[in-house]
Amino acid sequence: MTLRIRPARLDDLRTICRLRLQRTAWLAARGSDQWTREGRGLPIETFAGSVAQAISNGETWMAEVDGERAGTITVNDRADEGLWSPGELADAVIVHYMIVDLRFAGQRVGEALLAHAGSIAWDKHRAWVRLDAWTTNNGLHAYYHRAGFRLVRIAGPEATGPSRALFERRTAAWAPARTKPLPALVEPARHHG
């Protein structure tokens, strides 16, 4: 199996939206309201617009397994209001929209995408990789714990969105991986604009 991470292109947007819809249906079948309208998730049109902007900014990445699109992640330095303090944002990169195609579940695609976020943080001299997870998705919280993240807190009432469980992992936790080959081949980002 060859895993490669490359900058997303606008022609990946349809796949990214398909992954979001696929994962939303999978979660709903398991009783989760993550990303649903009932759970106050972004409508798919809003999600698509946000991801298209992130692709144009060079912030979104695609994982490919043996040439097939297998997952996506967006990494930048922004978060929804009320989640992280300005100081926490200043020393971190923020992970958004990490989704792995169900066909590739269990093949460490998510782990490679998170390691890529760690590499971005390392290159930007940021001490932390931070993310917000759907507040009520305990399975997702367990996944991030297994991936080496710790729950910092559940954001208070000033955070109005449904993803208020705040996780972080020190960038240095990925530093040993910098001395040996990364688990995936990575292409450099190119800004589209």
DSSP designation for 182: -
- Tell me the average pLDDT across 152-178: 87
Whether the full predicted model's pTM is greater than 0.75, yes or no, is yes
- Closest to 34 (Cα-Cα) out of 48, 22, 16, 51: 22
- Closest to 44 (Cα-Cα) out of 12, 74, 10, 19: 19
Measured distance CA(75)–CA(55) in Å, rounded: 10
Confidence tier at 184 by pLDDT (50, 70, 90): very low
- Range from 16-20, 35-39, 79-83 carrying the lowest mean pLDDT: 35-39
Apex 80 CA angle, 79 and 85, nearest 5 = 65
Residue-wise pLDDT tens digits, 3-13: 999 999 999 99
- Tell me the average pLDDT across 132-158: 94
Residue-wise pLDDT tens digits, 48-63: 999 999 999 999 999 9
Answer whether residue 39 shows pLDDT above 80.
no
- Tell me the average pLDDT across 64-86: 96
Apex 1 CA angle, 62 and 167, nearest 5 = 45
Provide the percentage of residues in the chain whose pLDDT is more than 70. Answer: 90
Measured distance CA(172)–CA(174) in Å, rounded: 5
Contacts of 139 (CB under 8 A, 6+ apart): 30, 32
Mean pLDDT of the chain: 89
Higher pLDDT, 1 or 134: 134
Provide the percentage of residues in the chain whose pLDDT is more than 90. Answer: 76
